[in-house]
Amino acid sequence: MNKRLLFLINPNAGKGEIRAKALDVIDLFVREGYEVTVHTTQRRWEIPDLLRERAGGFDRIVCSGGDGTLNETINGLLACENRPPLGYIPAGTVNDFASSLGIPKTIPEAAAIAVDGAPYACDIGLFGGRAFSYIAAFGAFTDVSYQTPQQVKNWLGRAAYILEGIKRLPGIQPWPMRLVCDGRELAGEFLFGMITNSTSVGGFAVGERIGVSMNDGLLEVVLVRQLQSHAERQRVINALLEGELDPDFVTVTKARRVEVFSDQPRPWTLDGEFGGEVEHVVIEVLPSAIQVLTDPALAAEGGRASAGPDLIRAPKFSGKSTQGYHISAL
């Protein structure tokens, strides 16, 4: 009996490149011995419902889209008792999760990893009950990814986020926040904060600076305190653009559980999408929760772990083809 693969496609992600290459990808899956069922997303948050109902009937799940599509897929898999390995074909603008796990950004290469790769047991974050694959963040610039028009992101890529962020510099205000990280309290007025499990954030490599491992059972906490002058702002921004963290203004620590308190409901971003407004939230890690398919050599090494400080300052189709795959609205 053929192995069964569910291929989830967001045809509108990024520049829509997957629409032109989907049949080639499906053909690869079939040649590798899979009976493929294809589902193109029609609305937000349909993937979790679909996976809760159907994931148990498949040997492998592959999704293609941006970080938001991946977020939905992971949320769906976490609701399943038996979780098939997950292949990811990045098709968004920045694709931080793929960068962190060494998943190729070209569709043919990523598709090959999705069928021939080795499973990597990846930690997942939980934000008040909702999963995130690589980041939960508050404060300055955190809404840039979902407020920037898709057309602009397609034209400019990562530069679109930088330009949108620069426009907002004059209006940045800090928020009073208190975070309890595994019992240790960090309080102050912060311009930005993130709880992450990624070596790449917004397209910028941060793993070497904050010591990220995606399966160590820990989340990295990064806080940027209030800056008093334009010169201080520029200093921190320049450091971030160079992949550095200025210890005079930036605090980094690690934790399994982070409890966050703010003075009023504040907006959060989860994996580049709006995550709601909360005044109090518990963020914790789910160790080795998802098996993500990646390069066998990288998986054997334990992923892109890096040492770091413990603390520093389309239309619907239906029917069965003769080629071994289904195209279905499910």
Active site residues: 273
Question: DSSP label at 320?
Answer: B
Separation CA 61–CA 92 (nearest Å): 18
Asked whether 242 and 206 are in contact (CB, 8 A), the reply is: no
Positive/negative CA dihedral, 47, 51, 54, 60:
positive
> Hey, what are 176's tokens?
């009073």
Residue type, 236: V
Q: How far is CA 107 from CA 29, 134, 160, 171, 314, in A?
A: 13, 21, 22, 39, 18
DSSP β-ladder status, 219-225 and 130-132:
unpaired
Parallel, antiparallel, or unpaired: how do β-strands 184-196 and 219-225 relate? antiparallel
- CA pair distance 223, 252, nearest whole angstrom: 7
Q: Which residues of 111-134 are buried (b: 16+ CB within 10 A; e: fewer)?
A: bbbbbebbbbebbbbbbbebbbbb
Helices (H), the chain: 17-31, 47-54, 67-78, 96-101, 107-116, 144-147, 150-156, 158-168, 207-210, 230-241, 296-301
By three-state DSSP, how is residue 227 classified?
Answer: coil
